[in-house]
Amino acid sequence: MARQLRSARLSETMVAFHDLGSIMANNYCVATVLTFLPKHHLTEAHRLALCACNVAVVDTDDSESLYLFTRDGEGPCDLELPDGLPLVEAWEAFLEETGLDGCSQEPFTSALRECMGGGGADWTQILQLVLRALPDADIPHIDVQGSYWCDKERRGEFGGFALRVTRTDVVVQESAQQFFDQLDRRQQQSCTTEATSQQRSVEQASEGTEQAEAGEGGARVG
Q: Tell me: the pLDDT tens digits for 129-168?
A: 999 999 888 899 999 999 999 998 888 888 899 999 999 9
Please indicate whether residue 144 or residue 198 has the higher confidence score (pLDDT). Answer: 144
Please indicate whether residue 13 or residue 170 has the higher confidence score (pLDDT). Answer: 170
Q: What is the pLDDT of residue 4?
A: 42
Q: Is the confidence at residue 38, as pLDDT, over 50?
A: yes
Q: Is the confidence at residue 117, as pLDDT, over 50?
A: yes
Q: Mean pLDDT, to the nearest integer, of 183-200?
A: 81
Q: Tell me: the pLDDT tens digits for 94-111?
A: 999 999 999 999 999 999
Q: What is each CA distance from 16 to 5, 21, 23, in whole angstroms?
A: 16, 10, 10
Q: Is the confidence at residue 18, as pLDDT, over 50?
A: no
Measured in degrees and rounded to the nearest 5, phi and psi for residue 155 equal: -65, 140
Identify the weakest region by mean pLDDT among 11-15, 150-154, 170-174. 11-15
10 Å CB burial of residue 135 (0-12, 13-18, 19+) is exposed
Taking the domains of the chain in order of start, what are their residue ranges?
A: 27-168, 175-216
Please indicate whether residue 182 or residue 97 has the higher confidence score (pLDDT). Answer: 97
What number of helices (H) and strands (E) belong to the chain?
6, 8
Q: Mean pLDDT, to the nearest integer, of 4-32?
A: 59
| DSSP annotation string for 129-184 | HHHHTS-TTT-S-EEEEEEEEESS--TT--EEEEEEE-SS-EEEEEHHHHHHHHHH
Q: Mean pLDDT, to the nearest integer, of 178-199?
A: 81
- pTM for the full predicted model: 0.70
**What is the overall mean pLDDT for the chain?**
84
Q: Mean pLDDT, to the nearest integer, of 81-85?
A: 91
Q: Is the confidence at residue 177, as pLDDT, over 80?
A: no
Please indicate whether residue 3 or residue 61 has the higher confidence score (pLDDT). Answer: 61
